[in-house]
Structure formats: structure tokens, C-alpha cells
């Protein structure tokens, strides 16, 4: 029979033997801090205690984080043995189980609803806080990205274990909502508490990008590299480093990062593939010859496109396909999305996602007027597809280039930056 215990942060855990709770805590901390291998730790948790329901649910979450059809199938299989157990579960277990089931079913909004309820039940549920913020990020729900942490923040005193992680999450929410000064304060507070908090590193990297401080960004990420370069999130931070170099016009440095740590190992994880496609598209806008690189990237993405799960991934797939001249694959992907996607992803695809696919494919096919028509219409609602402001800024760059290609350079700048923001951040 399961007995009541608490996790490392004080939230309740039902455990059969107690032997798996430490492994569970390690898995949660690995996920929150983006260090180590959370799946190995989660497997160890249920291996030590099969009655640790939250350990099984965490394993399902980690599969879902892949944002792939295979990940959804793995998560569904993990959750199967928990069918019919609802009446025996604690409130925390039940709410997490409902969140995971909703995510599996493609109802991502419902998943955030159950995670919010879990946080109302216990604001110290660090797992619920992390998964909720990440889902809001995937959904492009910028206000809730900050709001979910704001609502929990008051329960975390500076003396409490985990306080630094919550500061880092809050920093990222502030940054995505444009409060860069406060975001920097909270990110640096998190890093002062724990220099190994890679999410806080990421939040500060975003601040430096959005404020046009590329030289500071390069110095910061370089100094922090011993902490983050072995993380499973490292490719994304190398991507940020490459953006700083592009801002400074250091094109060859950005190319060397693409050929080096970003693509050297040819990861087939969507987390890494979208960074590769995004950087390669930017390099193509700067006039870099990317033909062979695009063909290689296309070969790695093609096996993933027939069962669409997340339109943000598919948008980046179209970037690779367009650069490689494989418009047939874009048509295949569009057909898959129209026929096979469902739930939240279907709604987002219909709202903005399919238009982004068509707009970027049009640009790659040199139909610049059509690309311009589609992208200027879609840009105001593009946050629906998810991702960060820094990631979606590629729409602006493409609009500027498309407009210049049809001979309307000044109009391009007006359309892309109605409030006067310059295309290249100040070189500092």
C-alpha cells in the first residue's frame, strides 16, 4: 500500500516503498534545471518503486516533451496501466494524470487547466509549475507563461529549496512579456543561487538578445559554457550564440557554430532540428551557400513529417525543405496537417500555422509577392504557433527580405518594424 511522503520541495508524494522518491526528485530537478538525463532518473524511480504513480506520469511527460508522434505513443503506453485507478489516487496524482492524458489526446489547453489546478492544490508542486510553463510556451500563451509563475511565486520564500529555479522561470516569463530589466534581475538572482540553472541561463540569453547586447551575450554564454555545454539543451544555447554573431555581422562565426556543435552529431530530436533549420534559414538570408547543409537537414527531418503533432516543428521543416528545393515534401506536410492533425494542434494550424508553412514555402520558391501577402497577414497572430519572440523574429526577417526582393525596401522596414525597431540590434 502506498504511503504519504513529500518530495524535495514539500509537495505530497504517494510511494510504495519510499525507495523511488529520491530518484523522482532527481528527475524533476534534472528537468527543471535542464541538466543530466531526467528520463534515466525517472526510469530509476519507477524501477525502485512501481507504485510511485507520479514517477510513471513524469515518464509520460518526458516522452511528450519530444513533441513527436512517437513520443505521444510512448506516453500513451506508459499511462495505460493507470487506467481505472482514478478513485485510488491522491489529488496531486489525479490532476497530473488528467494533465498527461489531455496532452496525449492532443488537448494541450486542457492539460494546462489541470496543471493550474494542481498548483492551486499546492503551489510547491515544482513539477506542475515547470510543465505548465513549458506547455504555455509551446502554445504561445505569452501572458500565461509569466502568469503561472507569478501566481506560485509568493509561496516560495528565499530560504526554501527550489527558490532559485522559480526565479529563473519567472525571469523567462518577464522576458517574453517585454520586461527585460526585471527579467535580468530575476535571472541573475537565480544564477547567483545556482550557476547550474540552465533555464535561468536561457532567460538571460533572451534578455541580451532582445535588448541588442550581442557582445555581452557572447561573453555571458562563453563564461557560462562549462555549466551548460553538456546539457541536453545546449544546442539551443549555441543557437543563441549564433544569433549574437549574426547581429554583429560575424557570419563565418555563425556558420562554424552550425557546422560544429549545432549539427555535428546530426540529432534527430525536434528540439535540435528546429534550431538548425532556423539558423540555416537566417544564414541563407545573409547570402550563405547552404545547399548541401539543407539537403542533409531535410534527410533527417523527412521521416518525421507524416504524423503531425506540433505545427511549430512543421514550420521549421518547411524551412529546410524550401532551402533544399523539396517543395514536394512541403505539399506532403501540408496534406498531413489538413487530414491527420487534431485537437489543439489542428486549431493552431488553421489559425496561423498552415499560412506560415505556405508563406515560407512561397519565399523559398521565389514567389516573393505571395510570400509577402501571406506573411504580413499572418505575422500579427503568429504567436499562436508557439515559441519565443526571438524564434518568431524570423518572420520579420523574411518579410523584410521578401519586400526588398520585390523592390519595396522602405515599405519592408515599415511593415516589419512599425514602432521603429532597427533590423540589426545595436552592435555593442
pTM over 0.85: yes
pLDDT of residue 416: 47
285 and 428 housed in the same domain: yes
Residue that finishes a domain, picked among 223, 238, 265: 265
pLDDT of residue 423: 39
Q: Give residues with Cβ within 8 angstroms of 49, minimum separation 6.
A: 15, 16, 17, 18, 19, 20, 21, 55
Our count of domains for the chain comes to 3
CA distance 71 to 374: 32
Residue 149 lies in a domain: no
Residue 145 lies in a domain: no
Q: What is the pLDDT of residues 365-379, one digit of tens each?
A: 999 999 999 999 999
Q: Could you tell me the residue range of the domain that residue 160 belongs to?
A: 156-265
Q: Residue 190 is part of a domain; what is its CATH number?
A: 1.25.40.10
Q: What is the pLDDT of residues 156-177, one digit of tens each?
A: 999 999 999 999 999 999 999 9
259 and 282 housed in the same domain: no
201 and 104 housed in the same domain: no
Residue 144 lies in a domain: no
207 and 325 housed in the same domain: no
26 and 166 housed in the same domain: no
Residue 161 lies in a domain: yes
386 and 258 housed in the same domain: no
CA distance 366 to 363: 5
Residue 426 lies in a domain: yes
pLDDT of residue 425: 36
314 and 257 housed in the same domain: no
Residue 148 lies in a domain: no
135 and 160 housed in the same domain: no
Rounded to a whole number, what is the largest CA-CA distance in the chain?
Answer: 73
275 and 250 housed in the same domain: no
Residue 150 lies in a domain: no
410 and 377 housed in the same domain: yes
Residue 187 lies in a domain: yes
Evaluate whether 205 touches 192 at the Cβ level (below 8 Å): no
420 and 275 housed in the same domain: yes
Per-residue pLDDT of the chain (428 residues; tens, 9 = 90+): 567 889 999 999 998 888 899 999 999 999 999 999 999 999 999 999 999 999 999 999 999 999 999 999 999 999 999 999 999 999 999 999 999 999 999 999 999 999 999 999 999 999 999 999 999 999 999 999 999 999 999 999 999 999 999 999 999 999 999 999 999 999 999 999 999 999 999 999 999 999 999 999 999 999 999 999 999 999 999 999 999 999 999 999 999 999 999 999 999 999 999 999 999 999 999 999 998 999 999 999 999 999 999 999 999 999 999 999 999 999 999 999 999 999 999 999 999 999 999 999 999 999 999 999 999 999 999 999 999 999 999 999 999 999 999 875 545 455 544 444 333 333 33
Q: Residue 133 is part of a domain; what is its CATH number?
A: 1.25.40
Residue that finishes a domain, picked among 104, 139, 174: 139
Residue that finishes a domain, picked among 265, 299, 321: 265
Instruction: Give the phi and the psi of residue 90 in degrees, each rounded to 5.
Output: -70, 170
279 and 248 housed in the same domain: no
CA distance 218 to 390: 16
Amino acid at each position: 500500500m502506498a504511503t504519504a511522503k513529500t518530495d524535495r520541495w514539500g509537495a505530497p508524494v504517494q510511494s510504495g516503498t519510499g525507495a523511488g522518491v529520491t530518484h523522482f526528485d532527481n528527475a524533476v530537478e534534472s528537468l527543471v534545471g535542464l541538466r543530466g538525463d531526467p528520463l534515466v532518473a525517472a526510469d530509476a524511480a519507477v524501477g525502485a518503486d512501481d507504485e510511485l504513480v507520479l514517477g510513471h506520469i513524469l515518464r509520460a511527460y518526458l516522452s511528450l516533451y519530444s513533441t513527436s508522434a512517437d513520443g505521444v505513443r510512448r506516453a500513451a503506453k506508459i499511462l495505460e496501466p493507470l487506467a481505472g485507478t482514478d478513485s485510488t489516487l491522491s489529488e496531486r496524482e489525479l490532476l497530473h494524470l488528467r494533465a498527461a492524458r489531455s496532452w496525449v489526446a492532443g488537448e494541450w489547453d486542457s492539460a494546462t487547466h489541470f496543471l493550474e489546478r494542481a498548483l492551486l492544490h499546492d503551489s510547491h508542486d515544482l513539477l506542475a509549475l515547470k510543465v505548465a510553463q513549458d506547455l504555455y510556451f509551446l502554445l504561445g500563451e505569452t501572458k500565461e507563461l509569466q502568469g503561472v509563475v507569478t501566481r506560485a511565486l509568493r509561496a516560495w520564500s528565499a530560504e526554501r529549496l527550489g527558490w532559485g529555479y522559480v526565479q529563473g522561470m519567472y525571469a523567462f516569463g518577464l522576458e517574453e512579456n517585454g520586461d527585460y530589466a526585471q527579467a535580468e534581475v530575476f535571472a541573475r538572482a537565480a544564477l547567483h543561487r545556482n550557476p547550474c540553472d540552465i533555464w535561468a541561463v536561457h532567460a538571460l540569453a533572451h534578455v541580451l538578445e532582445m535588448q541588442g547586447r550581442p557582445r555581452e551575450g557572447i561573453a555571458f554564454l562563453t563564461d557560462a559554457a562549462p555549466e551548460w555545454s553538456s546539457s541536453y539543451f545546449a544546442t539551443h544555447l549555441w543557437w543563441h550564440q549564433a544569433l549574437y554573431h549574426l547581429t554583429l555581422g560575424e557570419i563565418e562565426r555563425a556558420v562554424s557554430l552550425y557546422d560544429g556543435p549545432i549539427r555535428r552529431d546530426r540529432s534527430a530530436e525536434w528540439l535540435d532540428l528546429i534550431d538548425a533549420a532556423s539558423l540555416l534559414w537566417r544564414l541563407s538570408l545573409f547570402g550563405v551557400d547552404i545547399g548541401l547543409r539543407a539537403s542533409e537537414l531535410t534527410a533527417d527531418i523527412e521521416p518525421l513529417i507524416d504524423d503531425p503533432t506540433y505545427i511549430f516543428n512543421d514550420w521549421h521543416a518547411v524551412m529546410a525543405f524550401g532551402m533544399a528545393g523539396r517543395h514536394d515534401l512541403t505539399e506532403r506536410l501540408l496534406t498531413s496537417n489538413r487530414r491527420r492533425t487534431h485537437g489543439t494542434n489542428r486549431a493552431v494550424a488553421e489559425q496561423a500555422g498552415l499560412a506560415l508553412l505556405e508563406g515560407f514555402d512561397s519565399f523559398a520558391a521565389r514567389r516573393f509577392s505571395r510570400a509577402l501577402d501571406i506573411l504580413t497577414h499572418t505575422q500579427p497572430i503568429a504567436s499562436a504557433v508557439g515559441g519565443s519572440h526571438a524564434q518568431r523574429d524570423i518572420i520579420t526577417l523574411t518579410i523584410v527580405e521578401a519586400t526588398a526582393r520585390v523592390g519595396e525596401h522602405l515599405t519592408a522596414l515599415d511593415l516589419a518594424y512599425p514602432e521603429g525597431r532597427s533590423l540589426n540590434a545595436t552592435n555593442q
